[in-house]
Amino acid sequence: MSACVRIRHDHTAHSSPPSRASGIKRPHSPPPPRRGGRFRIAGADLSASITVFLIAVPMSLGLAVAMDAPLEAGLISAAVGGIVAGLLGGTPLQVSGPSAGLTVVTAELIQIYGWRTTCAITIGAGLLQILLGSLRAARGALAVSPAIVHGTLAGIGVAIALAQLHIVLGSSPQSSAAANALALPEQLGRLTPAAPLIGALTIAVLVVWPRLPGRIGRAVRRLPAALASVAIATAVAAVAAPGIARVDLPSWRSHALPELPQGPVLALATAVFTVLLVASLESLLAAVAVDKLTADRAGGRTADSAPPVPVALAARPVQRSDLDRELRGQGVANVLSGLLGGLPVSGGAVRSSANVRAGATGRAATVLHGVWVLLAAGLLVTALEWIPLAALAALVMVVGFQMVNYAHIRNVHRHREFLVYGATITGVVLFGVLEGVAIGIAVAVAVALHRLARTRITVTDQGGRHLVVVRGQLTFLAVPRLSRALGQLPRGGDAVVELDGFFMDHAAYETIQDWSDAQTAQGGRVVFTGRSGGRIAEPASAAHSCCRPWTPWRNHHCHDQPGQPVDARRAAATRAAFAPGENPAADQGPTGSGDAEADARAADAADATAGPTGRFDTPGDGAAAPRRTGAHRLASGLSSFQRNTAPLVRDELARLAREGQRPSQLFITCADSRLVTSMITASGPGDLFTVRNVGNLVPPPGAEAGDDSVGAAIEYAVDVLKVESITVCGHSGCGAMQALMSTRPDTPRTSLWRWLRHGLPSLERMTSRHHAWARISGRLPADEVEQLCLTNVVQQLDHLRAHESVARRLAEGALQLHGMYFHVGEAQAYLLAEGASAGSGVDEVFDRVGPCDPNHARPYDITDLSDPAGLGDPGNHAAVSAPTAAADPADSPGSGELERTSA
């Protein structure tokens, strides 16, 4: 169906996307900003900006120390990131500044090329960010495996912690993470107590500060832990260790600006690309995290250590980040930071989360934090120079350890991607960021290929019938083992093939189909089932567009759409056809020739049946095809059935013709043309004994007045067919109920009136005070018509119980009654509560039926991402198999024909 329904009504295929000035909201983007509005500063933004500023200053200085960069460069990047990225970025609450993820990369660039060339590399990375943001490539950056991204950040965190540990111990870091690890024993041998004690004090305050108990603790925790730890360490060092190494901010007059890069072009390009990759990924991941934090705050959910969410903030609508705009804003900030001699800029998770939890409402908090950093860089130089380097190093070391997130490790282990995660960390620590990312990608590809090629095939003898279980994906790599396993089965024997996977390529399909045809030709019987044991009965590509293969719903509206050109109809018909390898009947085509092109021509010929004028407009002339008459629509539909559906159901109908009908349900519903009973109940031939009339009415015994058709159907279904249940199904917008409500005493006594009078008890029941109104679970009926539709279902169940045959079977416990309501516009079914259906309940409530079967299976409810497809391979989130129709393998309609190529 998805290939046939038109989704554009007023726009041509070449219409341009709406401009920003048009006010039309793009998907996944915040609404356009209001023009001419003032930059408003709320009280919450002011207080949040101060909180973030108190975190940003020590963090910026600490990162500059970690990179061996000029200390004022950290303050410059913090100010530029806050003001520029805050104004231009697409995530209003994200706070940008010096990048923790780029610490190792920047330190290496400074060591190789010097500070001024590193600034030029930052400018180049910023220009590329602007370009990628303009090309709308930001969303594509998130396609990188999370295991690689988190592994990269964790590897950087390990490298940061190893480097800063040397400063905490009173020495200087080495050039690489491996060298830092190897030099630790020597460093511990010549240890001086001052710096390690100050570093330990800083770490202790960082850990204890958020956990201070009591009323005093809640008041003290308003001061950020980063600022408190550095302030306490600075005060203790001033008294106990006056000679310890401290921050040395040089004069702004000696500040170095960028120069033209000097060095090999390929090496410089690699450096620019590395800065671009890490800074962009870190910013975009932080933006997504900020969206989640904002959504949690809007829902009233906060962390235990966070202040309560104000009601005004919780009521604010949540806007998703514009990632392309965010990438452009980060690019502009990096260009300006590089021009001013600052560090590379990216969005920071620590600063951003503090901003959200402090109650910020807009980008004013981010911008003001940058202003405060700029003022501090000019006015607080003397105070900043009292900070010990060991305290800043300890602060950054804790940040590095926090980048190795246990929650991330647990998630990648749950999704069976720990090998990718570990390889990425090892590559980053031993070889560098870019090399580590490349190693992670290579390992991820190898793991994916291994999973794709790993197929387990087991054969079990079940007393004359063999069970073949195929677990994993069926590709050409598995064909040799598959052929060997199938070849070992006795020829002409019965077999059940259980396909436990979600992909089958053409080579595997042909192998199974050829074997199945050979078994069938020699008198064997082959049944194909899915993992749950349900018979595979339809192509996977059609699983979401039709409920069973015998319903032509997938091809609905493909034949004649008013106003659709002939060539568009042909294209729609071609898209609706099965792709080669998805279904054997489709592969052979209507003529069984196996020639897809010839079958398409045959379909075109059948679809080009002459209209009222004897012909259609010639293809390509742009004219709309005339609307077919009823006779031509009937002929076209019959032709479509014979071509597409009859080959799939011929064996099943032949079996039903031999064995007779044995339906389990009597289904009484309205004659409304919008109600497709087989579709909404996922049923097929032989399942339902259906009675349709105007208004789904059940006249009580003795009131038929010459019309015994409904009573006869009930008696036949209950006494002869021995159905197990009877369902009365009403629906929304029922014309019979509308006509019943508008009936007046002077209404003409037509055939329709004489029939609708059987619904007068429903109208009396709705207006009576002795009966509770029927209700829909979760909401009230929309209007009086819907209320009458619901009440009518309950009333007709009472009429059913008055029939002698129904009452007898109910007393025996061999029959159940059900009430059902189907909302056509919502495609939503509701079932009457069991007590009300049985006539014993007080509340007449129709409960919503979710995407689960009565046994509470979850075919579409994918809430557990650890195994979304139920395939035992939680690493594959994109491929989720559709549920198959549960049926006994012994009732298979085919004689060994493989009707679906993926489970």
If 0-12 CB within 10 Å is exposed, 13-18 middle and 19+ buried, where does residue 483 land? middle
- Tell me the DSSP string of 78-110: HHHIIIIIHHH-S-TT--EEE-STTHHHHHHHH
Q: Which long-range contacts (CB under 8 A, 24 or more apart) does 602-611 make?
A: 602/643, 603/573, 603/574, 603/577, 603/643, 604/570, 604/573, 606/636, 606/639, 606/640, 606/643, 607/559, 607/569, 607/570, 607/573, 607/636, 608/566, 609/635, 609/636, 609/639
Question: Distance between CA 633 and CA 641 in Å, rounded?
Answer: 12
Question: Distance between CA 119 and CA 341 in Å, rounded?
Answer: 6
Contact 528/605 with Cβ under 8 angstroms? no
Question: Distance between CA 556 and CA 561 in Å, rounded?
Answer: 10
Question: Distance between CA 332 and CA 703 in Å, rounded?
Answer: 82
> Roughly what angle, to the nearest 10 degrees, separates helices 784-801 and 804-812?
80
Comparing C-alpha atoms, which of 279, 269, 274 is closest to residue 344?
Answer: 279
CA-CA distances (angstroms) from residue 882 to 302, 677, 837? Answer: 37, 21, 31
Contact 95/52 with Cβ under 8 angstroms? yes
Catalytic residue chosen out of the listed positions 166, 416, 643, 731: 731
Instruction: Decide if 731 is catalytic.
Output: yes
Burial 502-523 (b: 16+ CB within 10 A, else e): bbbbeebbebbbebbbebbeee
If 0-12 CB within 10 Å is exposed, 13-18 middle and 19+ buried, where does residue 822 land? buried
Query: And the tokens for 206?
Result: 């960082």
Catalytic residue chosen out of the listed positions 119, 547, 558, 670: 670
Query: And the tokens for 212?
Result: 């201070």
Residues 6+ apart with CB under 8 A from 333: 80, 81, 84, 85, 88, 89, 96, 126, 345
Instruction: Decide if 672 is catalytic.
Output: yes
Catalytic residue chosen out of the listed positions 734, 799, 803, 809: 734
- Tell me the DSSP string of 358-411: TT--SHHHHHHHHHHHHHHHHH-HHHHTTSBHHHHHHHHHHHHHHHS-HHHHHH
Comparing C-alpha atoms, which of 62, 56, 76, 54 is closest to residue 343?
Answer: 76
Question: Distance between CA 67 and CA 61 in Å, rounded?
Answer: 10
Residues 6+ apart with CB under 8 A from 428: 104, 151, 152, 154, 155, 156, 158, 159, 435, 436, 437
**Residue pointed to by tokens 């965190």:** 157
Strands 828-832 and 688-693: unpaired
Question: Distance between CA 1 and CA 827 in Å, rounded?
Answer: 15
Instruction: Decide if 852 is catalytic.
Output: no
Instruction: Decide if 734 is catalytic.
Output: yes
DSSP 536: P
Three-state secondary structure call for residue 199: helix
Alpha helices in 103-224 (DSSP H): 103-113, 115-134, 138-141, 146-168, 177-189, 194-208, 214-220
Catalytic residue chosen out of the listed positions 45, 672, 687, 873: 672
Question: Distance between CA 731 and CA 823 in Å, rounded?
Answer: 6
Contact 797/730 with Cβ under 8 angstroms? no
Instruction: Decide if 119 is catalytic.
Output: no
Three-state secondary structure call for residue 479: helix
| Residues with catalytic function | 670, 672, 674, 731, 734
